[in-house]
Structure 1
């Protein structure tokens, strides 16, 4: 047995012990009845299983998605509900179709070369100023990440950034330009991911919970009303912060602006695959933005998942593309899909058993007395701090969103007013490299340290809390949410 295996067995044993203790712990009625929240026996068992999964998610004793699957089975074994009901609220959720569609679209953008072409084009517009290149990386990352997964965008930016740094002779861990450029390759995708429901994993999970639990139907454009302004306010703030903390030691690249533009001009013409991918991507965006109008014209409900699942099938129509499913399948994160479906099941059981309501009142019941703006800020800050411990955005949403919906119910608030701040913040992991797989990709290049990332991330977290809170409260005030 290796030392690593021994550690994992220890973590698994500890998780099991925590679960059992929580399940059999005698809880007085005075604690079980917390305001409007009542912790039933089933709720206590669900809490134990949640702690079991939480320890495994945090320690990665077994893969994230396998933990989720195990949690679903144990919910049935310990009779929180029937296995059929538990699975139906997760695996039968339309949000799964959304994930599959977005991942297929993302895979085609990557495989066809369209994503790299867009990146090279936008970066050719920045010129040879190192300050503008850093901003260009953030802007490219944010714009792409609104529509495809954060990890895919970070993976696209990484080789472009490393090529620039190596050509300039920037030393790893010593070059401020290297630190700023690689951290920008993280921050851009993280910030852009909050712009649309398609941008990050927690977004559709939150939308699904709002629909299933609270009966709130949050449309694609409604999300963008809050997300897009936050993105474009955070980008310049993040860029200025990087320029202050890691002021580049060189102001201009060796190549001139004309040489950079010449490189793009000599880029190969768009292939048939790129053109088709671009057309289908644009069709998807138009359908997302006009789904409300189209639904009324057709007399049907068009949820967020429907347009992208339809357009994902277009790629495989006869004669459309030469790329085969086997090639696309390689870039579709099936482990991510398993984690999402199992997470939805666990989150729904946490709510339906009453555990989320009880936990929300115990932990956050006091925020009901705060003013709306301060309340939004408190929720945003709490979730961003939670991201330090949770290394999966989907796991964060699975745990936090049902608790927030239950809290709104207990306090008599609109579910969206409590849940939206948490939903938008669930993927913003600025402090620890390990808080998101997106962070790990540029970190692997070796140009910045964990300390560099944390130092800048703590300050960025403060600014993000202020900006996101102000945006949500301001837009919410105009729309009648606050």
Structure 2
């Protein structure tokens, strides 16, 4: 009876949190609204922050819906007028993200992402260890430019199909050795977009792996089958986790790779308007080397844990080179894409153009006085941003033809179609279907929350409280902060973690007289280090839903990944952070009259 009651209460936990949190926290604004009115705005803002933190953490309502709370509570409680709150939902950073998403949609629309992934897999080969590396390289590269969720959703079924063919190939080779069959290896059609295929082994109700016709086989054969089944399950877990972790890691390398990066950039401009800010190039030069190192260490850890240390057998140089069914299925899937189409080539051109324009917009290491070096030298300083660049390329995608022009002399002799313009690389129905609009609202909600913290005076009060930590070493504070953010993001989305912590960390840096880059940039990257739980990130949830992976597997593997990633991050911020962000000095633009450091 008691168990059923608890089970039913658990089913209504979201409804309970929805009502309990606002009611439990309401004495905060009530008390300061009556007894100490001078602190009312700060208290009201803290009340909104508490509600949003719990709603985001437990997903009481959809995350994007929670992001709309500042539009309701800030005006009602007198924190900010509605007009000021609304401006945060389509700021320059949101526009940059939209432009990047439009280019990502174009890449998916012409199947260029699949060509890149399969091409990488063909290069690395079909041995399990190198397959894992190939999937990680392809996933990490794609997640730098398109959403981590879309990348994982595409790579996971491909990985399942490759594994199925690899196991099938091993079974047929084993039968040939036993003399049971000398038939040539033939491949069945594999649907890489479907569910993961069923392998030979099944799992009994007691959790032990068994195989078909187990009861009729000798005991020694059963032992061999159980070992083989365990090895295959281990390989399946390893490959799926490789895809999820590579998606999480790859998104940290570029400013548009994942939401937390953009939140750090935007908060730097909001809280420190006189700062140099963070653009695409500076973020990439800092984060990309760390991403590569973390990815390599992740591959070494996962391949050792799930494949073993049989380096000589797996090495393409030392081991015996042989063509396997897994390699055949990859080659078959790649060949089905055909040669690079006109549309794919056009998208590649626009993608390269976008990256080129981002990198060379402003060359901050070149001093030209009032003018900024780079192609924006010819425009009014400060007017053209990374968002402008993204919009230029995104707009061009709707106009650039997806097929060769069919105008006058450009029409072929055998072209019998009615004259007229060809469709563009992108069309609005495609964008409407594939565009993750909820992320734009989620980012806007984070910006609105942080803006309210700044305008209400809550951030200044926090800065005064954190000034008591001034005696602690800067790297120690940075390490503690990154660990806290990484732990928090295990139970909440990474956008939620950064939306809550980044404004607080900015004031902490000001309070202890640290360079704000020293805390804000590592914290933003650490928010993507959610490796231990399925709910930590969408990639984790996707691979977990495919089956075969237990929570204990993810916790055991992800714990070491968290430690390794944070150590690499600490090394990067204390090395590359010095020339890129000058973290060893406290800049004048971060000084505040409430907590003066000069």
Task: Normalising by structure 1, report the TM-score.
Answer: 0.90
Q: Which residue is equivalent to 1:426?
A: 527
What is the alpha-carbon distance in structure 1 between the residues aligned to residue 467 and residue 238 of structure 2?
Answer: 40
What is the alpha-carbon distance in structure 2 between the residues aligned to residue 272 and residue 197 of structure 1?
Answer: 29
1:373 Cα deviation after fit: 2.9
The change in CA–CA distance for 1:77 and 1:262 in structure 2 (over 3 A counts) is closer
Q: Which residue is equivalent to 1:355?
A: 458
Alignment of 1:30-69 (within 5 A): 40-69=39-68
Q: Is residue 531 of structure 2 the alignment partner of residue 447 of structure 1?
A: no
1:91 Cα deviation after fit: 2.1
Whether the 8 Å CA contact 1:68–1:343 is kept in 2: the answer is yes
What is the alpha-carbon distance in structure 2 between the residues aligned to residue 258 and residue 197 of structure 1?
Answer: 34
Q: Which residue is equivalent to 2:13?
A: 7
Whether the 8 Å CA contact 2:118–2:330 is kept in 1: the answer is no
Question: Going by fraction, where is helix more abundant, 1 or 2?
Answer: 1
What is the alpha-carbon distance in structure 2 between the residues aligned to residue 387 and residue 315 of structure 1?
Answer: 35
1:210 Cα deviation after fit: 0.3
The change in CA–CA distance for 1:327 and 1:18 in structure 2 (over 3 A counts) is same
Task: Name whichever of 367-376 and 74-83 sits farther off.
Answer: 367-376
Q: Which residue is equivalent to 1:124?
A: 122
The change in CA–CA distance for 1:10 and 1:426 in structure 2 (over 3 A counts) is same
1:98 Cα deviation after fit: 1.0
Q: Is residue 344 of structure 2 the alignment partner of residue 274 of structure 1?
A: yes
1:159 Cα deviation after fit: 1.4
The change in CA–CA distance for 1:229 and 1:361 in structure 2 (over 3 A counts) is farther
Whether the 8 Å CA contact 2:165–2:329 is kept in 1: the answer is no
Unaligned runs of 5+ in 1: 33-38
Q: Which residue is equivalent to 1:225?
A: 285
Q: Which residue is equivalent to 1:140?
A: 138
Task: Name whichever of 189-198 and 364-373 sits farther off.
Answer: 364-373
What is the alpha-carbon distance in structure 1 between the residues aligned to residue 122 and residue 329 of structure 2?
Answer: 6
Counterpart pick for 1:296 among 350, 355, 377: 377
1:375 Cα deviation after fit: 3.0
> Helix, strand or coil: the match of 1:182?
helix
Whether the 8 Å CA contact 1:172–1:178 is kept in 2: the answer is no
Task: Name whichever of 76-85 and 267-276 sits farther off.
Answer: 267-276
1:324 Cα deviation after fit: 2.1
Counterpart pick for 2:486 among 384, 407, 418: 384
What is the alpha-carbon distance in structure 2 between the residues aligned to residue 172 and residue 377 of structure 1?
Answer: 44
What is the alpha-carbon distance in structure 2 between the residues aligned to residue 481 and residue 16 of structure 1?
Answer: 39
Q: Which residue is equivalent to 1:481?
A: 583
The change in CA–CA distance for 1:6 and 1:249 in structure 2 (over 3 A counts) is same
The count of residues paired between Structure 1 and Structure 2 equals: 471
What is the alpha-carbon distance in structure 2 between the residues aligned to residue 422 and residue 65 of structure 1?
Answer: 22
1:92 Cα deviation after fit: 4.2
Alignment of 1:312-351 (within 5 A): 312-317=394-399, 319-320=401-402, 321=424, 323-351=426-454
The change in CA–CA distance for 1:267 and 1:83 in structure 2 (over 3 A counts) is closer
Q: Which residue is equivalent to 2:253?
A: 195
Whether the 8 Å CA contact 1:15–1:53 is kept in 2: the answer is no
Deviations 1:108-156 (A, max 9, x none): 1112100000000001111111001111111111111112211121112
Task: Name whichever of 416-425 and 204-213 sits farther off.
Answer: 416-425
Unaligned runs of 5+ in 2: 1-7, 168-198, 204-229, 315-321, 363-373, 403-423, 585-598
Counterpart pick for 1:16 among 12, 22, 45: 22
Whether the 8 Å CA contact 2:106–2:425 is kept in 1: the answer is no
Whether the 8 Å CA contact 2:162–2:329 is kept in 1: the answer is no
Deviations 1:243-300 (A, max 9, x none): 2322369977981687467534564112222222111111111111111011224344
Whether the 8 Å CA contact 1:177–1:248 is kept in 2: the answer is no
The change in CA–CA distance for 1:411 and 1:16 in structure 2 (over 3 A counts) is same
Q: Is residue 308 of structure 2 the alignment partner of residue 206 of structure 1?
A: no
> Helix, strand or coil: the match of 2:68?
helix
The change in CA–CA distance for 1:359 and 1:387 in structure 2 (over 3 A counts) is farther
Whether the 8 Å CA contact 2:122–2:327 is kept in 1: the answer is no
1:167 Cα deviation after fit: 2.4
Q: Which residue is equivalent to 2:569?
A: 468
What is the alpha-carbon distance in structure 2 between the residues aligned to residue 471 and residue 249 of structure 1?
Answer: 29
> Helix, strand or coil: the match of 1:125?
helix
The change in CA–CA distance for 1:357 and 1:163 in structure 2 (over 3 A counts) is farther
Task: Name whichever of 191-200 and 91-100 sits farther off.
Answer: 91-100
Deviations 1:365-414 (A, max 9, x none): 56533333333322221211111231x22211111111111112222222
1:212 Cα deviation after fit: 1.6
Q: Which residue is equivalent to 1:306?
A: 388
> Helix, strand or coil: the match of 2:576?
helix
Q: Is residue 252 of structure 2 the alignment partner of residue 246 of structure 1?
A: no
The change in CA–CA distance for 1:327 and 1:261 in structure 2 (over 3 A counts) is closer
Q: Which has the higher contact order (CA 8 A, sep 6+)?
A: 1
The change in CA–CA distance for 1:132 and 1:95 in structure 2 (over 3 A counts) is same
What is the alpha-carbon distance in structure 2 between the residues aligned to residue 340 and residue 135 of structure 1?
Answer: 32
Please say which structure displays the higher CA radius of gyration: 2
Deviations 1:346-383 (A, max 9, x none): 11111222323444665x65653333333332222121
Whether the 8 Å CA contact 1:220–1:288 is kept in 2: the answer is yes
> Helix, strand or coil: the match of 2:324?
coil
Q: Give RMSD over aligned pairs.
A: 2.7
Whether the 8 Å CA contact 2:107–2:347 is kept in 1: the answer is yes
> Helix, strand or coil: the match of 2:255?
coil
